[in-house]
Amino acid sequence: MSEASWGDDTKTPKVDWRMSASLEDVPRGDDDLAEVTSLEGAVRAWLELDPVHQAAATLTPERPIQIDGVSTASFQGNGISVLAERLPATEAGER
């Protein structure tokens, strides 16, 4: 016998915001270095960028993320906003 489940977690399972991720192609002082942090930290850092740098950025999580049934190993430019929309709220209630 199998358990019933309401909703479809198979298309968009819960995101592991603690996994490692690198945010690349964004300026870091005088260099253009990748920042390796948690997925949540990388997405929040991307949100702080100006639109030109957001469009040029590449975010690569430790392992692929499945959203709406599609598994993605890397997010480019404004495609990172798909993750930003799913960010957990902070203690202050902000995304």
Q: How far apart are CA 43 and CA 84, in angstroms?
A: 6
Strand ranges, E, within 25-86: 35-38, 58-61, 65-67, 70-72, 75-76
Across 15-19, 28-32, 91-95, least confident range: 91-95
Flag whether 10 is in a domain.
no
Q: Is residue 92 part of a domain?
A: no
Number of domains in the chain: 1
Domain limits for position 58: 20-84
Q: Within a domain: residue 63?
A: yes
Q: 24 or 29: whose pLDDT is higher?
A: 24
Span of 12-16, 51-55, 56-60, 79-83 with lowest mean pLDDT = 12-16
Q: Identify residue 3 by its one-letter amino acid code.
A: E
Position 68 in a domain? yes
d(CA 58, CA 10): 26
Tell me, yes or no, whether 7 lies in a domain.
no
Going by C-alpha positions, the residue among 18, 29, 35, 77 that lies closest to residue 53 is: 77
